[in-house]
Amino acid sequence: MVYSYYGVGYFERNVTLDPVTGKEVGFGFSGSSSAANRAEQEPTFGYIRTLWKHEKYGGLQVLTQYSYLTRSPWFAPPGTPKNAHASMVYLDFRYLLP
């Protein structure tokens, strides 16, 4: 079996003024935390192969998956990357009950 998936998330700006200090709080403004994401995207591709199957004893499958994740923050401090990305590989062996 071959499968794929694509996920995307966009998080709009959320800023307000603190009534006590008068400073901006939230994310999406200059100087906000770089941990606040503006957008994330993740395409995933995978393959499941049945290696062995028996009616009485069950079966054995191997699962492989590849994902590529990108992240863009609302604010990146000077001298830091504007976005981040990671490649992820997953390998699994699965025993199927009869």
Note the pLDDT of residue 50: 97
Which residue, chain included where needed, has tokens 């863009």?
A: 72
CB-based contact 63:88 (threshold 8 Å): no
Average pLDDT over residues 15-38: 86
- Output the pLDDT for position 54: 96
Closest of 72, 67, 77, 5 to residue 39, by C-alpha:
72
Average pLDDT of the chain, as a whole number: 93
Q: What is the mean pLDDT of residues 69-89?
A: 92
Query: Cα 79 vs. chain centroid, distance in angstroms?
Result: 24
Q: Could you say which DSSP state residue 18 is in?
A: -
Q: What is the pLDDT of residue 62?
A: 98
Task: Read off the pLDDT of residues 9-26 as tens digits, 9 standing for 90 and up.
Answer: 999 988 999 999 988 888
